[in-house]
Structure 1
């Protein structure tokens, strides 16, 4: 009896893994957890993930309790977002832009982990600060799980590292 149950469990797991591979890892996670893109992050409300699976980085004064700060720059907000978008595309081949591009000072991307294709979403926004320079806000969050093992912070740190 126990042997039959174990064989059934193993067969069920095998079928589930086969379906996961045939459907595709990214599409499978979407079917399980819904779309990774939930719309643009509102940097003004200070809301973050309730679990340790996100990272927030902002120029000084633009958000509450960032994980690290981003130095303001002299380029226009749209130019900053374009540069960051190009840098992200060059460094993360699994990322794809998911916003409609109507606001050139904002961008949103979904990217996937290498092996299991766990989805993460990256929000970028640039604003003109009181001193005329451009400040940047960036938020990266895993859609699944309670911990990302620092991956989202590392992603943002790499994105803002000086070339």
Structure 2
């Protein structure tokens, strides 16, 4: 089982939370956002924090936050040597502070608050500094979709602009 902390409270964070909520091979141990708000109606208050210093231990930390906040939040994380990924199409992998293992878990999809998502039709673009982390991200993406692609930051940016 892979344990996940989701950082963010926007559409991507909410949709990923919902997608992973009932998966047997995934456990969302916590969600962080600046306001400490619930991102899903079934989320328990004990799994929400607005303090980065209170983040629980997990296998993967997903930064589903605004593009311009990725570098600042990743450098503020109070741990090192963990796998930290962002979900942006236009931000390079190296925006994540290198005190942690870095990756990208980018669903090539526009997310809206009201539209239900069919993940089986969504391509996931994966990137990581280490091959072992690529495998983790591919395994995670494969829970939701069969369309998984290794894509560099430059290639992902071109796709993002084209989409």
Scaled by the length of structure 1, the TM-score of the pair is 0.27
User: Which is greater in Rg?
Assistant: 1
